[in-house]
């Protein structure tokens, strides 16, 4: 029996993004053992290429064999013990998830919240940090549910003032926006491969500072997750190469090729391409009645949240998104939480951050007579 033919989609939602042909071919290479010297050399190259993307020299920078949500759990579960205090910046769904994960660990969570579509107030975060004096401060760099860029530098500086560890979600930002963990004073960060890196989902690049690794080594209790324990993972990804788990070989091949593509393009050029595509999108949808949710100063280039024309809000927007998918082969994302039915989330990430993809979406919207009189 032959395999079913799957439809080709242009993935302009909040992730995953489309995969370059070179990455697809890389996945088809022959399997090697996860302790084969040839594979370990590839793993070394992956780690070396990830460091400049994170803006760090951290030795413990590696791809976790899990998705970005597991990267979140790894950062928080390693640095927090039951009863520790954590201040979480909640500016959308993924800040909410951070707070939930920390609560399940048994930490005492102080939430600093802002309305969806706005940035965290550094003064409010700083006041909470000064009052609580937490073990950990965590926030999302690029909030995927709202399309907002958060003020990492100011908040990290406040955390350093009380000797707290800073955890940063870089799932949507890595390789699309500048990330500078060392310069900002971030202790642990995580991302995903399926967004601006344009690789298949399933890996979570993470980076822990040496200070953070020492914190884990000095814990009073074991890390609650054996699989995500940094001290155990270091044995496999470090010089000893102690067996920990069977790495997803083909996914690592794909990530390495994706990182090589990033290196060939250059981070500055890549960031500029994301900005160009986002600008073309906003210019193109304005005559159709769409407006940006987020002010320009804090707006993400790789994930644009669009207020819908009044006639599209609610059920009509869901029906239109279905037609875009089934009739035009284009996926866009709907709103989450309070923004459900009121916005679209249009991802122009990695391979997809190109003006020709914007033009294809605009043509489909015009074909559906969006913005037409009557």
Tokens representing 219? Answer: 């814990």
- For residue 302, tell me if it sits in a domain: yes
Tell whether 158 and 80 lie within a shared domain.
yes
b (16+ CB within 10 A) / e for 290-315 = bebbbeeebbbbbbbbbbbbeebeee
CA separation for the pair 137, 21 (Å, rounded): 39
- Burial class, 113, CB count within 10 angstroms (exposed 0-12 / middle 13-18 / buried 19+): middle
Tell whether 219 and 312 lie within a shared domain.
no
**What CATH number does residue 197 fall under?**
3.40.640.10
Give yes or no for a contact between 304 and 348, defined as CB atoms under 8 angstroms apart: yes
Q: Which of 243, 263, 283 is the last residue of a domain?
A: 263
CA nearest neighbour of 281 among 298, 269, 265, 293:
293
The pLDDT assigned to 184 comes to: 98
On the question of pLDDT at 374 being above 80, the answer is: no
- For residue 295, tell me if it sits in a domain: yes
Provide, for the chain, the percentages of residues in helix, strand and coil under a 3-state DSSP scheme, each rounded to the nearest 5: 45, 15, 40
The pLDDT assigned to 235 comes to: 85
Give yes or no for a contact between 70 and 233, defined as CB atoms under 8 angstroms apart: no
DSSP state of 334: E
Range of the domain at 38: 21-263
- For residue 237, tell me if it sits in a domain: yes
Tell whether 304 and 212 lie within a shared domain.
no
Tell whether 233 and 280 lie within a shared domain.
no
DSSP state of 287: G
The pLDDT assigned to 21 comes to: 98
Tell whether 94 and 130 lie within a shared domain.
yes
Tell whether 236 and 336 lie within a shared domain.
no
On the question of pLDDT at 96 being above 60, the answer is: yes
Tell whether 100 and 241 lie within a shared domain.
yes
Mean pLDDT along residues 126-130: 98
Mean pLDDT along residues 85-93: 97
Give yes or no for a contact between 134 and 87, defined as CB atoms under 8 angstroms apart: yes
The pLDDT assigned to 233 comes to: 94
- For residue 124, tell me if it sits in a domain: yes
Tell whether 179 and 322 lie within a shared domain.
no
Tell whether 217 and 327 lie within a shared domain.
no
Tell whether 232 and 164 lie within a shared domain.
yes
Tell whether 161 and 301 lie within a shared domain.
no
* CA distances (Å), origin 270, targets 33, 54, 174, 264: 33, 15, 11, 10
Work out the mean pLDDT of the chain and round it to a whole number. Answer: 96
CA separation for the pair 157, 169 (Å, rounded): 17
Least confident residue range of 134-138, 315-319, 328-332 = 315-319
CA separation for the pair 55, 58 (Å, rounded): 9
Q: Please indicate, yes or no, whether the overall pTM of this predicted structure exceeds 0.85.
A: yes
Give yes or no for a contact between 74 and 187, defined as CB atoms under 8 angstroms apart: no
On the question of pLDDT at 208 being above 60, the answer is: yes
Give yes or no for a contact between 192 and 201, defined as CB atoms under 8 angstroms apart: yes
- For residue 5, tell me if it sits in a domain: no
What is the tally of structural domains in the chain?
2
* Model confidence pLDDT, tens digit, residues 233-290: 988 887 777 888 899 999 999 999 999 999 999 999 999 999 999 999 999 999 999 9
SS3 187: coil
Rounded to 5 degrees, φ, ψ at 310 are -55, -35
Mean pLDDT along residues 105-121: 96
- For residue 372, tell me if it sits in a domain: no
- For residue 374, tell me if it sits in a domain: no
Q: With cut-offs at 50, 70 and 90, classify the pLDDT of residue 140.
A: very high
On the question of pLDDT at 1 being above 70, the answer is: no
**What CATH number does residue 279 fall under?**
3.90.1150.10
On the question of pLDDT at 67 being above 80, the answer is: yes
User: How many residues does this entry show for the chain?
Assistant: 374
Q: Which of 198, 228, 263 is the last residue of a domain?
A: 263
* Model confidence pLDDT, tens digit, residues 159-177: 999 999 999 999 999 999 9
Mean pLDDT along residues 124-145: 97
Q: Report the DSSP pairing between strands 165-169 and 343-347.
A: unpaired
Give the Cα-Cα-Cα angle 154, 158, 162 (nearest 5 degrees).
165
Q: Given the structure tokens 């190109």, which residue do they identify?
A: 354
* Model confidence pLDDT, tens digit, residues 290-315: 999 999 999 999 999 999 999 998 88
CA separation for the pair 205, 66 (Å, rounded): 9
- What percentage of residues in the chain have a pLDDT greater than 90? 92
Give yes or no for a contact between 367 and 34, defined as CB atoms under 8 angstroms apart: no
Residue 78 neighbours by CB distance under 10 Å: 27
- For residue 373, tell me if it sits in a domain: no
Give yes or no for a contact between 349 and 17, defined as CB atoms under 8 angstroms apart: yes
Alpha helices in the chain (DSSP H): 21-27, 37-54, 68-79, 93-105, 122-132, 152-161, 181-184, 210-217, 230-237, 249-265, 267-285, 315-328, 355-367
Tell whether 35 and 155 lie within a shared domain.
yes
Q: Which of 235, 263, 291 is the last residue of a domain?
A: 263
């Amino acid at each position: 029996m032959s395999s079913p033919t799957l439809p080709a989609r242009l993935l302009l939602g909040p992730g995953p993004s489309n995969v370059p042909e070179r990455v697809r071919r890389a996945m088809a290479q022959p399997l090697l053992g996860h302790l084969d010297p040839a594979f370990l050399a590839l793993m070394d190259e992956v780690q070396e290429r990830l460091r400049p993307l994170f803006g760090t020299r951290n030795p413990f920078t590696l791809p976790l064999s899990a998705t970005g949500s597991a990267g979140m759990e790894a950062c928080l579960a390693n640095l927090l013990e039951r009863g520790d205090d954590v201040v979480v910046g909640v500016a959308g769904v993924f800040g909410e998830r951070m707070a939930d994960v920390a609560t399940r660990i048994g930490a005492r969570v102080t939430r600093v919240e802002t309305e969806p579509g706005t940035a965290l107030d550094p003064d409010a975060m700083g006041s909470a940090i000064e009052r609580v004096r937490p073990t950990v401060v965590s926030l999302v760099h690029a909030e995927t549910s709202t399309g907002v860029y958060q003020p990492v530098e100011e908040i990290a500086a406040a955390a350093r003032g009380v000797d707290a560890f800073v955890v940063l979600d870089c799932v949507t930002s890595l390789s699309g926006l500048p990330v500078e963990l060392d310069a900002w004073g971030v202790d642990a960060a995580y991302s995903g491969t399926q967004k601006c890196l344009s690789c298949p989902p399933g890996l979570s690049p993470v980076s822990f500072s040496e200070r953070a690794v020492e914190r884990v080594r000095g814990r009073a209790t074991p890390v609650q997750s054996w699989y995500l324990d940094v001290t155990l993972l270091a044995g496999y990804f470090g010089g000893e190469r102690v067996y920990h788990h069977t790495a997803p070989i083909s996914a690592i091949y794909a990530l390495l090729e994706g990182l090589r593509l990033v290196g060939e393009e250059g981070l500055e050029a890549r960031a500029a391409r994301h900005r160009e595509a986002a600008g073309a999108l906003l210019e193109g949808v304005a005559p159709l009645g769409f407006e940006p949710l987020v002010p320009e100063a804090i707006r993400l280039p790789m994930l644009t949240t669009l207020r819908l024309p009044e006639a599209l809000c609610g059920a009509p927007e869901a029906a239109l998104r279905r037609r875009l998918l089934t009739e035009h082969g284009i996926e866009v994302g709907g709103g989450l939480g309070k923004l459900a039915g009121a916005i679209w989330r249009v991802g122009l990430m990695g391979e997809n951050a190109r003006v020709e993809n914007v033009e294809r979406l605009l043509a489909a919207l015009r074909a559906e007579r969006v913005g037409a009189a009557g």
